[in-house]
Amino acid sequence: MKPQPLPAVPDSKLGGTAPSAARAARFSPSAQSRQRIRFVGLAWLLFAAWPLVAGNDYILSLGIFFFINLLLIGGLNLVMGFGGQISLCQAGFYGLGAYVSGVLAVKYGVPPLLGVLVATAGAALSALCIGLPALRLRGDYLAMATLGFNAILSVLFSELVSLTGGPNGLANIPPVSLAGFKLDIASRFFWLAWGVSGLMMVMLSLLLSSRAGRALRAVAGSEIASGSMGIDPFRSKLAAFMFSAACAGLAGALYAHFNQYASPETFSFATSVLLVVMVALGGWGRYWGPLFGAVVFTAVPELLRKFQDAELLVFGAGMIVVLLYLPTGIAGFGTYLQAGLARLRASRRAS
């Protein structure tokens, strides 16, 4: 006699052990990405009010530098936080974007907007060149390789006097123009930085929810395991490294055309270290981590401007506190607090 199949049992009668299709769809990567993008839209609408509440151009310029720093830290968080790689050359790519766009505009008369695009592509191309050999290394060796690249760029920024202006910096960089409209004051340039940084956040959300983003996080967990499942770890790391460099190059170009000046000290190794600290303070591998890191990186130096070198002390102390007591960073504080409350309730029940 042929056995009859068992009747299907609804999920509601299984005590909730079998997740429903609606619940699975709710927590799918695409649904999470749409939710993040909605929050980005809401946050950027709030940021759009900054020119209205800023009392002067100085306060307004802090908002612009916040968006530029967000580009820097967001790209670095993709490599270090989600990709699990160590990069100490983000400031080098930052300076490369600034000098490429600035030199093209000052020395060769290239339109600033075209120079920004060339600088972004040039930073990504340089990441490809350094990443092909360097990303085959791991751990401390990778950190040393990227550190060496940052040191080489710092020397070039100072020694190529005929192009970069040397230690005196590159001056008289023209502002960006859009359709003949010059963004030569803070109230105009703000909207360019606002839009570019918002677009970067949307692109990051879409990337993290895509197959490439999931592959990158798998590589961060275990290169051997991800490779056994058909993922090319090297290609994933290289793509993230190039995206991070492109973000830094774009940030550097925007910085140069807004500040209309670029100096080698801005793009030193110390800046690369501070950017790594900002990734940790904001939250390793947290989507919203760069937002908090950019706030700290923009506000603290201004608050401590009266005290020479005090910002390094504050950043160092903050790094120690995060590593000891808040390993998930500022963005992960809510999750950390919920876990702590859950442990407290469990201990009370046990007692």
Strands (E) in 275-319, as ranges, are none
CA nearest 261: which of 95, 64, 57? Answer: 95
The CA radius of gyration of the chain, in Å to the nearest whole number, is: 23
Q: How many CB atoms lie under 10 A from the CB of residue 313?
A: 11
Cβ atoms 98, 252 nearer than 8 A: yes
- pLDDT for 9 beyond 50: no
The predicted pLDDT at position 14 comes to 42
Residue 50, phi then psi, degrees to nearest 5: -60, -45
Q: Which residue has the tokens 């505009």?
A: 105
Instruction: Work out the pLDDT band at 194, boundaries 50, 70, 90.
Output: very high
Cβ proximity of 216 and 82 under 8 Å: yes
No. of helices (H) and no. of strands (E), the chain: 16, 4
Task: Give the pLDDT confidence of 39-64 residue by residue, as tens digits.
Answer: 999 999 999 999 999 989 999 999 99
Read off the amino acid at residue 347: S
Q: What is the pLDDT of residue 17?
A: 47
* pLDDT level of residue 303 (50, 70, 90 thresholds): confident
Using pLDDT thresholds of 50, 70 and 90, give the confidence band for residue 28. low
Give the pLDDT band (50/70/90) at residue 245: very high
Who has greater pLDDT, 196 or 179? 196
pLDDT, residue 12, reads 42
Predicted pLDDT at 308: 67
Can you give the length of the chain in residues? Answer: 351
Axis crossing angle, helix 57-77 with helix 90-108, rounded to the nearest 10: 120
Dump pLDDT digits (tens) for 311-321: 778 777 877 88
- Report how far residue 292's alpha carbon sits from residue 295's, in angstroms, rounded to the nearest whole number: 5
* Closest to 72 measured CA to CA, from 99, 51, 97: 97
pLDDT in the model for residue 75 = 96
- Residue 284: in which H helix or E strand, if any? none
In contact, 276 and 76? CB cutoff 8 Å: yes
pLDDT of residue 4 exceeding 70, the answer is no
Residue 321: what pLDDT?
A: 81
Neighbouring CB atoms inside 10 A of 111's CB total: 13
| Pairwise pLDDT comparison (316 vs 9), residue with the higher score | 316
Is residue 8 pLDDT above 70, yes or no? Answer: no
Q: Which residues contact 143 (CB under 8 A, 6 or more apart)?
A: 86, 87, 88
Angle between helical axes of 186-209 and 211-221 (0-180°, round to 10) = 70
